[in-house]
Amino acid sequence: MGSFSIWHWLIVLAVVLVVFGTKKLRNVGSDLGGAVKGFKDAMAEEKNKPSELPRQDNESSGTTIEGEVKDKQHH
């Protein structure tokens, strides 16, 4: 009940190759590699992105609008 020996892993590999075939496994490997590359690119892009967007000049900053609710309807 311990870890598998090298022969167990070779038999599992042979069964997987017979069931899926080498072409499909190659496609899965390239798809997985593309996904990892896309994830790394997205992480690098997020790292280079500024943490706060710059404010535009036409926005009013520090202005508070005070008001009072006259009629509140519940739906």
If one compares 70 and 51, the residue with the highest pLDDT of the two is 70
Q: Where are the domains of the chain?
A: 20-50
**Residue 1 above 60 pLDDT?**
no
pLDDT tens per residue across span 26-64: 888 889 999 999 999 998 888 777 666 555 555 555 677
Residue 22's pLDDT is 81
What number is the average pLDDT over the span 2-9?
84
Mind spelling out the 3-state secondary structure of 9-60? HHHHHHHHHHHHCHHHHHHHHHHHHHHHHHHHHHHHHHHHCCCCCCCCCCCC
Q: What is the pTM of this model?
A: 0.42
Residue pair 35/43 in contact (Cβ under 8 Å)? The answer is no
